Amino acid sequence: MRAISAYGIALGAVVGSSIGAHAQVVHVPIDETQSSVFVELVTDIGRDSDTSPLGGFLDIELDNYQSPGAITVHDFFIDVLEPIDLEIDVFLVGRFTMTAQGVTARYATPGVPLGPVVVDDSGQFILTQVPALLTGVVDYEATGVFCDFLQGQQLPCSDVIDLSTLGPVLLDTLGGTVTVANDEVTIVSSASVSQDVQGFATVNADGTIVGSAPVPMCEADLDGNGVLDAGDFFLYLDLFVAGDPRADFEGDGDLDAEDFFAFLDAFTAGC
C-alpha cells in the first residue's frame, strides 16, 4: 500500500512540476561595511546632504540557483544605522535644520511576494513602486523665511514627526544585480525614494545595498539548481537503478526500497 500511495503522490508532484517548480527563499543579510544611504535635502535656496551605513536583510527567491532568470522579493528590512543631520543656513534669510534618527524601512506587505521579475543575462533586475513602512523620528526647526513659509501653511516652525504615522511610502525603484558563484548568492541592489517636506523642500534618499548568502541546500534537489522539479525525480531514478551511492537516502550503506521511499518523502515534502 505504501508503494502505491507514495508512487502516486510522487508522480502527481512530478506532473505538477510542469506547471511550476518549487524554489527556496534565501535570507540575505545586508553587509554594513558595503551598504550605505546618501540623503539630500533640497530647497529653492540651498541644499545639504549626509550619509549613513545600512544594515538589515533581503529575503529573495531565484527561479534557478545556478543560472537565475527571475527573482522574487519576499521581504526586506533596511536599517539606517546612524542619524542623518541636514542643515540649510542662508545669511539674513533663514535657517532650517532636520535630524532623522532610528530610521528603518520594511516591506509593507510581507507574505505578498514582489515579482517575479526578469533577471537579464548580465544579472540585472528592477522593481518599481515598492511599498515600504517607515519607522523613526524626524525633528526640524526653522527660522526666517523657512519659518514664515511654514506658518503660512499653518504648520509649526519646529516639530517632531513620527515616521510610523505616515503610512506606506513608495520606493521609486528597488533593483540591481544578482549573481551566483561558488555556492553563494550575491546581490548588489539600489533603492531610491523622494519625499516632500512640508511643501517647501524635498528629501531624496539613494541607498546601495550589498549582501551575500549560501545557496540553499535541499536533500531532494539532486541536480543542485535550487529548484525541486521533475529533473530531480528522474535523476534519482537513474541513480537508484545504477546503484549509485547518492541514492542511499537512509545513509545505511545499503541501497534498497527504503531509500526510494525516503527520497519520495523528501521530494513530496518539498524544500
pLDDT tens digits, 180-204: 998 899 999 999 988 887 777 899 9
One DSSP character per residue, 3-35 reads HHHHHHHHHHHHHHHTT--EE-EEEEEB-TTT-
Query: What residues pair up with 46 in beta bridges, in sequence order?
Result: 43
Give residue-wise pLDDT tens across range 206-249. 999 999 999 877 778 888 776 778 888 888 888 888 989 888 88
Q: Where are the domains of the chain?
A: 1-24+217-271, 25-214
Query: ∠98-99-100 over CA atoms, to 5°?
Result: 125
Mean pLDDT of the chain: 88
Cell numbers for 32: 554594513
Task: Please report the pLDDT score of residue 1 as a whole number.
Answer: 41
pTM of the model: 0.78
- Average pLDDT, stretch 123-140? 95
CATH architecture for residues 25-214:
Beta Barrel (2.40)
Would you place residue 259 in the very low, low, confident or very high pLDDT band (cuts 50, 70, 90)? confident
- Between the two ends of the chain, the Cα-to-Cα distance in Å is 25
Give residue-wise pLDDT tens across range 39-52. 999 988 899 999 99
Task: Please report the pLDDT score of residue 181 as a whole number.
Answer: 92
Give residue-wise pLDDT tens across range 105-120. 999 999 899 999 999 9
- Average pLDDT, stretch 92-116? 94
Would you place residue 19 in the very low, low, confident or very high pLDDT band (cuts 50, 70, 90)? very low
Task: Please report the pLDDT score of residue 226 as a whole number.
Answer: 67
Phi, psi of 188 (to 5 degrees): -120, 105
Give residue-wise pLDDT tens across range 135-171. 999 999 999 999 999 999 899 999 999 999 988 999 9
Half-sphere exposure for 2 (CA within 13 Å, toward CB): 7
| Distances from the Cα of 92 to the Cα of 46, 98, 214, angstroms | 13, 19, 57
Query: Is residue 101 scored above 80 in pLDDT?
Result: yes
Task: Please report the pLDDT score of residue 232 as a whole number.
Answer: 83
Query: Is residue 15 scored above 60 in pLDDT?
Result: no
Query: Is residue 6 scored above 60 in pLDDT?
Result: no
Q: When comparing pLDDT for 89 and 265, which is higher?
A: 89
| Three-state secondary structure call for residue 200 | coil
Would you place residue 11 in the very low, low, confident or very high pLDDT band (cuts 50, 70, 90)? low
Helix (H) or strand (E) holding 223: none
Query: Is residue 66 scored above 90 in pLDDT?
Result: no
